[in-house]
Amino acid sequence: MSIKLSLDNFDETIQNTKGILLVDFHAEWCGPCKILGPVLDELEAEGYITLGKVDIDENPRLADLFQVSAVPTMVFFRDCQKIGQGVGVYTKDEIIEYLGRLELYDPYQQQ
């Protein structure tokens, strides 16, 4: 079951989520968001991610903090660290492939 995120619970959710948290910045009026939403719900149901949802109309400051200029925007977190971001509609397979690359990403590794 996805978590409805706002400024009030965002930091706590980031800190308490194990594995990958995918934050879906969306809007009710957004057609592409309505296409992506069920894909993300399915990924969560299958255990690939924990899903957080941010309605940009209800939480414009939170969207601004992450420089969301288009929806849908997905922001990926692991261990309180932002590890990726994508804009647009992706297929389930494309997201699973991206998650595989993120699993290999070490935010603490020196570049």
Give the residue numbers marked as catalytic: 30, 33
Alpha carbon 95 to its chain centroid, in Å, reads: 11
Tokens 């400051």 correspond to what residue?
Answer: 61
Tokens 């998650």 correspond to what residue?
Answer: 99
CA–CA distance, 92 with 40 (Å, rounded to integer): 8
